[in-house]
Amino acid sequence: MNQEIGKKLLSILKVEQVKKDEPMKIHTTFRVGGPASYFVTPETEEEVAKVIEVCTQENVPYYIVGNGSNLLVSDQGYEGVIIQIYKQMNRVEITENEIHAQAGALLSMIANRAMEAELTGFEFAAGIPGTLGGACVMNAGAYGGEMKDVLETVTVLTRDGDVKTLTKDELELGYRTSVIAKKDYIVLSAVIRLENGKKEEIKAVMDDLKEKRITKQPLEYPSAGSTFKRPEGYFAGKLIQDAGLRGFQVGGAQVSEKHCGFVVNKDQATAADVMNLMNQVSDKVYEMSGVRLEPEVKRLGVF
């Protein structure tokens, strides 16, 4: 790993914003993953741009994370710079029907702020355990709602260091994809447009969805949410269940007994356990149904 990079990062950021050999298992909801060479927490859009400029100049790979809710990091870790856009960049402001939020704001926090302001349309996102940045990249959705229903504009940083604001039409939002993902843009902030509603009705919907999550999802174990993408015309969880894999375990990783669409860290799983399990599940489902499951979880590092 390039030794200069540490010095250059410290010339941009404060000491407490730069961590060396930081274990990624403390920064992912799966609670697995080896060390990142450097883990940095910029506090402004300018700092994000400067860190990326340094990485590009020094030819050091980098990766953006939010709260690590859709990420599986290898046991070997990541040889590069992890840039976390999370609690240091999570400002949320509301003007009439619009919510202006930074990329590090949690969806649950934005949903609560929308409810307080009596704005409806974001209830679906209240229980998604991710940040706005990640949600824009993958057009996150749940319970019939998607980010494409509510996004007005997204401001991104391009690989060349330019800041661009993309309109809804320019975002090319599809199932778990967007132009942001395709072009490797970095989300800085977004504007969400909602409708006027009644606080008690919005709260009732959010409470109902929360109840559904608690009863149907294995929230008692670390996981990365839905592990596989939904195949066209099918449900991943149903295919896995039909293949007889409910509770199937590799090392400390398990197909959830509560919801087969989730792989959980049942007992100090390694990233290798999770990956091995996912591969076996995918093969078995293909053998039984002819449908190939694709991971929804992003993988980082060497597997």
Beta bridge partners of 164: 156
From the CA atom positions of the chain, what is the Rg in Å?
A: 20
- Helix or strand (DSSP H, E) at 114: helix 107-116
d(CA 38, CA 13): 12
Pairing of strands 71-73, 298-300: parallel
Catalytic residues: 176, 226, 296
Reading the block at residue 149, the tokens are 């229903």
Identify whether the C-beta of residue 120 lies closer than 8 Å to the C-beta of residue 201.
yes
Q: In angstroms, rounded to a whole number, what is the distance separating the alpha carbons of residues 229 and 157? A: 27
Strands, DSSP E only, in the chain? 18-23, 35-40, 62-65, 71-73, 78-84, 92-95, 98-102, 119-120, 141-142, 145-146, 151-157, 163-167, 186-193, 195-196, 223-226, 249-250, 253-255, 262-265, 298-300
Question: What does the alpha-carbon distance between residue 74 and residue 90 come to, in Å, rounded to a whole number?
Answer: 27
Tokens for 273, please give them.
């356990």
- Residue 175 corresponds to which tokens in the numbers above? 């199932």
